[in-house]
Structure 1
Amino acid sequence: MGNKAVFLDRDGVVNVDHAYVYKIEDFEFIDGVFEACKQFQACGYQIVIVTNQSGIGRGYYTEQDFDLLTKWMVEQFKQHEIEISKVYFCPHHPTKGIADYQQDCDCRKPKPGMLLQGIKELSLDARECIMFGDKGSDMLAATAAGFKKKILVKSGQSLTDEELSLADEVWNSLDCASEKFSENN
Structure 2
Amino acid sequence: MTNEGVPCVFFDRDGTLNVDVDYLHRPEDFIWTPEAPAAIRRLNECGVLTVVVTNQSGVARGYYPEEDVLRLHDWMNEDLKKEGAHLDTLFYCPHYPEGKIPEYAKICDCRKPAAGMIDAACAAHPIDRRRAVLIGDSERDMECARRAGIKGVLYTGGSLLEVVERVLEWLE
TM-score (norm 1): 0.84
Q: Contact 1:43 / 1:183 at 8 angstroms: preserved in 2?
A: no
Q: Which residue matches 2:163?
A: 177
Matches within 5 A, 1:106-121: 106-121=109-124
Aligned position for 2:152: 150
User: What is the CA distance between 1:178 and its match in structure 2?
Assistant: 6.4
Which of 37, 41, 51 aligns to 2:40? It is 37
The answer as to 2:106 corresponding to 1:103 is yes
Instruction: Confirm or deny: 8 A CA contact 2:16 2:137 kept in the other structure.
Output: yes
* Count of matched residue pairs: 168
Q: With CA pairs under 8 Å and 6+ residues apart, which has the higher RCO, 1 or 2?
A: 2
Listed one character per residue, the Cα deviations across residues 28-58 of structure 1 (whole Å, up to 9, x for unaligned) are 1111101111222233211000100000110
Match of 1:134 in 2: 137
RMSD: 1.7
Give structure 1 regions of 4+ aligned residues with deviation exceeding 4 angstroms.
Answer: none
Tell whether the 8 Å contact from 2:155 to 2:163 is kept in structure 1 after alignment: no
* Matching residue's letter, 2:67: Q
- The Cα of 1:3 is off from its aligned counterpart by 1.3
- Contact between 1:14 and 1:33, CA under 8 Å: does it hold in 2? yes
Mark the CA change 1:134 to 1:178 in structure 2 (over 3 Å): closer, same or farther: closer
| Unmatched segments (≥5 aa) in structure 2 | none
Q: Aligned equivalents of 2:146 and 2:116: distance in 1?
A: 12
Is the 8 Å Cα contact of residues 57 and 101 (structure 1) preserved in structure 2?
A: yes
2:51 is the alignment partner of 1:80? no
Q: Which residue does 2:6 correspond to in 1?
A: 3
Instruction: Confirm or deny: 8 A CA contact 1:58 1:98 kept in the other structure.
Output: yes
Give the whole-Å Cα distance in 1 for the aligned partners of 2:111 and 2:134. Answer: 15
Closer, same or farther: CA 183–38 of 1 in aligned 2, 3 Å: farther
What letter matches 1:103 in structure 2? K
Show CA shifts across 1:80-129 (max 9, x none). 12121100000000123421111000000000000010011012111111
8 Å contact from structure 1 (residues 112, 145) kept in 2: yes
Identity %: 39
In the alignment, structure 1 residue 123 sits paired with structure 2 residue 126: yes
Deviations 1:7-47 (A, max 9, x none): 00000011100110001110111111011112222332110
